[in-house]
Chain A
């Protein structure tokens, strides 16, 4: 049985990371921005797990992924809470309407 080469995983992960980055920079909906950040973290997870296949002496990559998953959940919780607080005050979830603090 032939296994999928490492590069494939890395390219998919890099593409996901790029999609997340571009989404973060271009979109204006706060929830989409949150999802973009989650996408970036998940692409990192994929990268770590993929690299763990070549660095088999320890399972650093796999263990790292567990921590990233747990932290991403905490981050999503805090982020959603902040977006909710923002929505309650401003009645919008668009980032370009957050313009009170300016020079």
Chain B
């Protein structure tokens, strides 16, 4: 038995086996969705089980990190299909934390809104498995496999409210555009295989360095792959599905999509760009992917922020804000061309900060509403600061973190990305990023204005906060993480620097 091998992939194994067990537990439980009483649904046990599974996965990822994957004998046995390095472990940790928090949110949300069916939890767990595979993939085969395992679960989660026209429509749009993007990415992968004869990223790089290839083919392949990945991270102009899917999906599924799918997609984007197309001829300002990524970054930030300011629905505003954050992270991806480790570290730190802040913001939005009185528009939130000060306080904390106000996690995320961009000499990009943060602050602060300075119009319906131990505990965990990352940012940044991929 190769203990080292199993230990090194233990985060993945824990989550996958946990998912299978949850599926069986769900099948053998005798709950039916028609039950009207809240405690009758399967969520009560399954949400806790899912959260425990995913947090255990996170703990295993951290444990393997401390032991050091390079010390485990056999940890490279699965290379190049699954590469277990600190980069993978960092993303596995982020994914598990995001997924665990999302499942806690679901534990409160699903019973409250009478869609308490147990499939939610196995789907969420298997999607996380796909996300971890995607983050670990060192071969386009496992990349595609992980991408599809992750996406298929999320498509189903988006359409989880089967009777709702909006939910099914959201899931249909997401499915069609998502699989279209996957097909483009796959065709790119097939062409790069044709040009280089390799499907593993390191082999592709070696063949590109050796030269004597059909460069036209390589160019088409790289473009197709970047477009496919840009769909998944919802970069403008490939973002059309994002607001609709985020708005129509049940809110816990939205938060899962916003953090886990995005983290995994960025992980694989970094790995593809830096490992497969990392040689200087393809990753300099004059040639290769950096100009493409920089253009995407500028477009994504600016367009998303401009549209987000015009939204009336807070959920849709948060959807556009998540697109804008993808733009900030793309700036970090661009800086990796000159600052290899620091660029990656800024992306990873930002993703961790973004994960806890976004889960928190969506969770606070869930907590603000209850059945029949959901918090949707800004108006619904007016006067919340007086009626329910605690809920309004945590909501404000997460929004300030997303806006990048010190001393929250989001501030240091932006700080490191801007620092990296300046260090790499990308001054225009950093100026655009800062201008966009100011633009973004407008719509985040607008929520605060409504919560603390407006009174609901007389007779107008307002949101009544729900009560749920699950949602509350998720919010407490996320809030602690946001504050901790804000108070001790250097520790996590050092961790992220150590996780960077070797050049």
Interface locus among B88-96, B161-169, B428-436:
B161-169
Complex contacts, B198 vs chain A, CB 8 Å: 60
Is A51 in contact with B156, judged by CB distance below 8 angstroms? no
**Candidate in B156, B183, B186, B194 with the most chain A CB atoms within 10 angstroms:** B183
With contacts A47-B187, A98-B173 known, is A64 near B193, CB below 8 A?
yes
CB contact between A47 and one of B140, B141, B165, B190 (< 8 Å): that residue: B190
With contacts A64-B141, A67-B144, A101-B243 known, is A41 near B163, CB below 8 A?
no
Question: A88 vs B307: C-alpha distance in the bound complex, in angstroms?
Answer: 32
Complex contacts, A98 vs chain B, CB 8 Å: 169, 172-173
Interface residue? A22 (CB, 8 A) = no
Closest to B241 in A: A101
Contact with A along B109-143 (1 / 0, CB 8 A): 00000000000000000000000000000001100
CB contact between B152 and one of A43, A75, A83, A95 (< 8 Å): that residue: A75
Question: A40 vs B183: C-alpha distance in the bound complex, in angstroms?
Answer: 6
With contacts A82-B155, A101-B243 known, is A74 near B148, CB below 8 A?
yes
Interface residue? A103 (CB, 8 A) = yes
Interface of A is mostly: helix
Is A78 in contact with B186, judged by CB distance below 8 angstroms? no
Contact with A along B165-206 (1 / 0, CB 8 A): 110111111011001100110110011011001110000000
Complex contacts, B70 vs chain A, CB 8 Å: none
Complex contacts, B180 vs chain A, CB 8 Å: 24, 37, 40
Question: A64 vs B81: C-alpha distance in the bound complex, in angstroms?
Answer: 12
CB contact between A75 and one of B148, B170, B194, B311 (< 8 Å): that residue: B148
With contacts A41-B183, A48-B193 known, is A103 near B144, CB below 8 A?
no
Interface of B is mostly: helix
Complex contacts, B140 vs chain A, CB 8 Å: 64
Is A101 in contact with B244, judged by CB distance below 8 angstroms? yes
Is B168 in contact with A85, judged by CB distance below 8 angstroms? yes
Query: How near does chain B come to A56, taking the closest CB pair, in angstroms?
Result: 9
Is B186 in contact with A89, judged by CB distance below 8 angstroms? no
Closest to B188 in A: A44
Query: How near does chain B come to A63, taking the closest CB pair, in angstroms?
Result: 7
Beta-carbon contacts under 8 Å, A1-59 to B: 10, 17, 20, 24, 30, 33, 37, 40-41, 43-44, 47-48, 50-51, 54-55, 57
Number of chain A interface residues as a range:
35 or more
Closest to A49 in B: B190
Query: How near does chain A come to B172, taking the closest CB pair, in angstroms?
Result: 5
Complex contacts, A44 vs chain B, CB 8 Å: 183, 186-187, 190
Is B199 in contact with A89, judged by CB distance below 8 angstroms? no
Is B165 in contact with A89, judged by CB distance below 8 angstroms? yes
Interface residue? B440 (CB, 8 A) = no
Is B248 in contact with A78, judged by CB distance below 8 angstroms? no
Is A101 in contact with B191, judged by CB distance below 8 angstroms? no
Is B141 in contact with A63, judged by CB distance below 8 angstroms? yes
Question: A18 vs B244: C-alpha distance in the bound complex, in angstroms?
Answer: 27
Is B141 in contact with A78, judged by CB distance below 8 angstroms? no
Is A57 in contact with B168, judged by CB distance below 8 angstroms? no
Is B197 in contact with A85, judged by CB distance below 8 angstroms? no
With contacts A17-B187, A101-B243 known, is A60 near B193, CB below 8 A?
yes
Interface residue? A71 (CB, 8 A) = yes
Query: How near does chain A come to B485, taking the closest CB pair, in angstroms?
Result: 33
Question: A88 vs B162: C-alpha distance in the bound complex, in angstroms?
Answer: 9
Question: A7 vs B38: C-alpha distance in the bound complex, in angstroms?
Answer: 62
Q: With A44-B190, A85-B162 given, can you name 19 additional A-B contacts, CB distance below 8 Å?
A: A37-B176, A37-B183, A41-B183, A44-B183, A47-B190, A47-B191, A48-B190, A51-B190, A60-B198, A64-B193, A68-B144, A71-B144, A75-B148, A82-B156, A82-B172, A82-B175, A90-B168, A95-B176, A100-B165
Q: Which residues of A does B touch, CB under 8 Å?
A: 10, 17, 20, 24, 30, 33, 37, 40-41, 43-44, 47-48, 50-51, 54-55, 57, 60-61, 63-64, 67-68, 71, 74-75, 78-79, 81-83, 85-86, 88-90, 95, 98, 100-101, 103
Q: List 26 A-B contacts (CB under 8 A).
A: A40-B180, A40-B187, A41-B183, A44-B183, A44-B186, A47-B191, A48-B190, A48-B193, A51-B194, A61-B193, A64-B140, A67-B145, A68-B144, A68-B186, A75-B179, A78-B175, A79-B179, A82-B155, A82-B171, A86-B171, A95-B172, A100-B166, A101-B166, A101-B170, A101-B244, A103-B311
Closest 5 A-B residue pairs measured CB to CB? A55-B197, A51-B194, A40-B183, A101-B244, A47-B190
Q: Which residues of B does A touch, CB under 8 Å?
A: 140-141, 144-145, 148, 152, 155-156, 159, 162-166, 168-173, 175-176, 179-180, 183-184, 186-187, 190-191, 193-194, 197-199, 243-244, 247-248, 307, 310-311
